[in-house]
Amino acid sequence: VVTDYSFPKNTQEEAATVKSREVLREGYKVAGDDLLREIIEKTVLSALQRHVDLSMREQGRNFGVKALSAVFGEKGVQDDGEQFSTSRQQAAQQIFMKVGYRILAHLERLKQAPSGVNDAVLSGCIEDFIKGEEQCSCNECALIHPAAYPLPEKTISAFVNDCFAPYLKDFNILKFEISVDLLALSS
């Protein structure tokens, strides 16, 4: 739990009551979750969607919106009950949120960069982002010795890979390459 403490504004009293406000509670939808979801949608999910769409066009098939909906939609297209729902949640926590946190950390570093920075692109595969081995074109935005997150359980990687199997041959989520323009994302 992350809590913010503050004093009421315009208080003349010496014994003013400290107000607390819950900012983030892990596992619950509170402030911050929407920002993280937006970062994931604009970076990883949009790259996945472009990749699936390109593959579908090359195969002369309809677009693979179902692949993303199965893993990330409000309710999975191929919702097979509680186990499927649990796997979706674990995929979000073990893979996509970790990538989102890493991107968010770079965005925070971007605020400290000099105003003349005009190139700040992150690149690497999903595994690189989880391990903290992603590359950044802007030295000022690069994280100094980022801590590695643990890799996802093999069953969770396999779950995501299986969701994309009908659309992408030999797909491996951990080897999927993404490129994130931090300047475009921050504007």
Instruction: Record the pTM.
Output: 0.77
Q: Would you list the domain boundaries of the chain?
A: 34-186
pLDDT tens string, the chain, 187 residues long: the values are 556 666 666 656 555 567 666 655 555 455 577 889 899 999 999 999 899 888 888 888 766 566 677 677 655 445 567 888 888 889 999 999 999 999 999 988 888 777 777 888 999 999 999 999 999 998 877 777 778 999 999 999 999 999 888 888 899 999 999 999 998 988 7
d(CA 141, CA 163): 34
Token pair of 48 as six digits = 């996945």
Please calculate the CA angle 40-67-46 and round it to the nearest 5 degrees. Answer: 30
Q: Left (φ > 0), alpha (ψ -120 to 50) or beta: where does 48 sit? A: alpha
Q: What are the residues whose beta carbons fall under 8 Å from the beta carbon of 54, sequence distance 6 or more?
A: none
**Phi, psi (degrees; rounded to nearest 5) at 146:** -65, 140
d(CA 67, CA 81): 17
d(CA 70, CA 163): 7
